[in-house]
Amino acid sequence: MLAEQITEPLALHGEGPCWLERSGELAWVDMLAGRVLATSPATGETRAIAVPSPVAAIVRPRAAGGLVVATETGVVLLDEHDEPSLLCQILDGPGIRMNDGGCDPQGRFWCGTMAYDSRPGGGALYRVEADGTFSEQLAAVTISNGLGWSPDGETAFYVDSMAYGIDSFAFDGASGTLSGRRRFADVGGSPVLPDGLAVDAEGGVWVALWDGGAVHRYAPDGALDEVVPLPCGRVTACAFGGAGLDELFITTSRLELPDGVDPDAGALFRCVPGVRGQAVLPFAG
C-alpha cells in the first residue's frame, strides 16, 4: 500500500489530522508553531489558522460549528470565523504541555499531557466536558498520545508512547469513565514509538510509528495485518477522511532532524486503505 504526498513539507512537526466534513478539508497541526492547517485534498491548497499559543496535537470540529483546539496549556474554541475563546485552562505549571487526544461518542473532549523532557510518569489524560469543566482520568503516563473509540463506542484505544503498545479500556459512555485496561497490541520498541491512531469502521486500529517510517493496522483481535510505508521516518498520526471516509491521511515531522535528512518530512500524505473510517466525533461544546 503506497502513500501519496499531497503537500510540500509545510510543518516542522505535523500532527493531529482530522477530517472537516463541512468544508471538505483535512485539518492538521503544525505543533508548537501556533498553527492549525487546513488542506484541500483535491488541490493540495493549504490555509493556516492562527491560535493564541502553541497548539497541541488535537483539533476537532464542534457540533455547533467551528473547531476545538488543545493549546499548550488548555482548550480553546474557534467559532466559524476562526475567532478564539478560552474554554478552560488545564495546566498552570512549567515543564508540562498538552499532547494528543480526541472526542468520545458523547461529545466529550479528551486530551493528554507530557513533560517537555519526556520524564517517566510526567503526563496524564484529562476529560473535558462541554461546559469546560475537566477531570483527570489517567495519571502517571509518560507521553500521552493516540486515542480512539471502537465503532460500538464500548472500547477506547490508547497509546502511552513509552509503553510501546496500544492499550484498550472498557468505556462507559454514560459516565465517561475508563476501566479494565489491557494490552491490545505491542507496537515498536526503542527507538520506534507508537504515536497517533485512528480506528476504522471494522474496528481495526491504525497507528503511526515515530522513527518507524510507517503506519500499522491492527485487526480487532490485535494482530498486525497491514503496513503503510512512508518515505520519512517520523510518522506522527493518521485519520480517515474524504467524501466516503475511505482515504487515510498521515502527518509527519522533521523535528530535530538535521538538514538534508528526510526532505519530505513535515508534509501531509494520503493512501487508500481499502476500508472506511468512522465519521469524525465532534465536540459537544
Name the residues annotated as catalytic.
195
Contact 28, 14 (CB under 8 A): yes
Task: Dig out the grid coordinates for 28 from the structure.
Answer: 492538521
Task: Dig out the grid coordinates for 152 from the structure.
Answer: 460500538
Task: Dig out the grid coordinates for 227 from the structure.
Answer: 503496513
Q: Cα separations (Å) of 104 from 43, 109, 157, 176, 230?
A: 31, 7, 11, 8, 29
State whether the Cα torsion 246-149-115-215 is positive or negative: negative
The gap between the terminal CA atoms of the chain, to the nearest Å, is 38
Q: How far apart are CA 182 and CA 81, in angstroms?
A: 42
Task: Dig out the grid coordinates for 73 from the structure.
Answer: 496549556
- Per residue in 140-166, is it b (16+ CB within 10 Å) or e — as a string? ebbbbbbbbbbeeeebbbbbbbbbbbb
Q: How far apart are CA 26 and CA 237, in angstroms?
A: 13
Nearest alpha carbon to residue 229 among 242, 217, 241, 239: 217
Nearest alpha carbon to residue 251 among 3, 10, 14: 14
Contact 172, 247 (CB under 8 A): no
